[in-house]
Structures are given as C-alpha cells and as structure tokens.
Amino acid sequence: MTLDETAAQALAEVGEVLQKALPRQVEVMAGPIREARRIVLYGVGREGLMMRSLAMRLFHLGLDAHVVGDMTTPPVGEGDLLIVSAGPGQFSTVMALIGVAKGAGASTMCVTAEPGGAAPAVADHVVHLEAQTMANDQGGATSVLPMGSLFEAAQFLFFEMLILHLRDIMGVTPEAMRANHTNLE
C-alpha cells in the first residue's frame, strides 16, 4: 500500500468512527459540560494530549476548564465535572480519579472505545467512540494506524465537532473564542 493509499484509508477509518458517533455522542457530552460549574479533564499518554486539547478549547469557549496535574487545577466538588479518557475501558489512574471525584460530589464522564469497561461502568456519563485502541490492535481486522492512534485521531476531530456544537448553542462567536486565546506565544 502506498503512503497516499494509507492516508486515504486512515481518513476513511476516522470518518467511519465520527459517522457512528455524530450527533448522538456529542449530545451525550454537551449536556453535562453545559451544566458543570467547573470541568477538569484527564487522560494518559496520547489520550491525555487529546484531553488537554479539549480543555484548551473549552477554555476558549469561556468555560472554567482545567487539566488534572496542572499546578493551578482547583479541587472538584458538587456541580463540577471530571471528564476522563479510557479508550481501552480502564486505566488505574482513571479509576482512582473517578473515585476521588465521586467522593467529592463531582459528576464524572468517560470517553471510551470500550463502553463495557471498568471505567465507563462507574462513570455517570459515557461517550462511546467506536475505534481501535491498544486493547484490540492485534489480530483480525485492524486499523492502518498503529496501536491506539485511530481512537486518538477520532477523539481530536470529535472534540472539535463538540466545540462547534457548544459554540453554537452557547452563542459564543468565533471572535469571542479568539479573544480567550493566549497572547504569550
């Protein structure tokens, strides 16, 4: 397979994930985000990078969004929302953070490719992106993208669709979003 053919296949795979997820999963995610007083996000590895990307965009919308582990992340409590990513359905740190958030009275949401996993089972809200992760990247039909890259690529574009949806229903203009972008670059 040529590089062009591989790229076309990768784009088709990401498109298929989005086609299955939109618009239903955007609605599942948008409601709790709009209701939250504060939003804190977490993910491990490359999924963590996608969660940081989402946190930035939520901030651009004017929402109070933070990333677990940043020194300025406030405590969560009643009215807050912890959003975690657990593509394969479970990570020990994700499970621990869900427990802490629930114990503090916060609501929890899990973005996953495995809705039957341990983390989604204990989360208040589950967003399902049907994509290959490292949990199922061997044998049978696999993505042209390595390991969990299909899930991560789909997350990035799905989160951007979520932001466009939230922007529209919240009445935030592109100019207002740009005004929230840092000038320290």
Q: Per-residue pLDDT tens for 137-169?
A: 766 668 989 888 999 999 999 999 999 999 999
Dihedral pair phi/psi, residue 39, rounded to 5°: -125, 130
Give domain limits for the chain: 13-178
Query: What pairs with residue 127 in β-bridges?
Result: 111
pLDDT at 134: 79
pLDDT at 146: 87
CATH fold of 13-178: Rossmann fold (3.40.50)
Question: How much is the mean pLDDT over the chain?
Answer: 95
Instruction: Examine the residue annotation and report whether 27 is marked as an active-site residue of this protein.
Output: no
Mean pLDDT value of segment 4-31: 96
pTM over 0.85: yes
Mean pLDDT value of segment 64-68: 98
pLDDT at 58: 98
Mean pLDDT value of segment 24-50: 97
Determine contact, residues 115/72, Cβ cutoff 8 Å: no
d(CA 107, CA 102): 6
Dihedral pair phi/psi, residue 154, rounded to 5°: -65, -40
Catalytic residue (choose from 35, 152, 175, 185): 152
Please report, for residues 3, 25, 50, 165, the alpha-carbon distance to residue 144 in angstroms, rounded to integers and kept in the order given. 11, 24, 20, 29
Higher pLDDT, 105 or 134: 105
d(CA 80, CA 95): 17
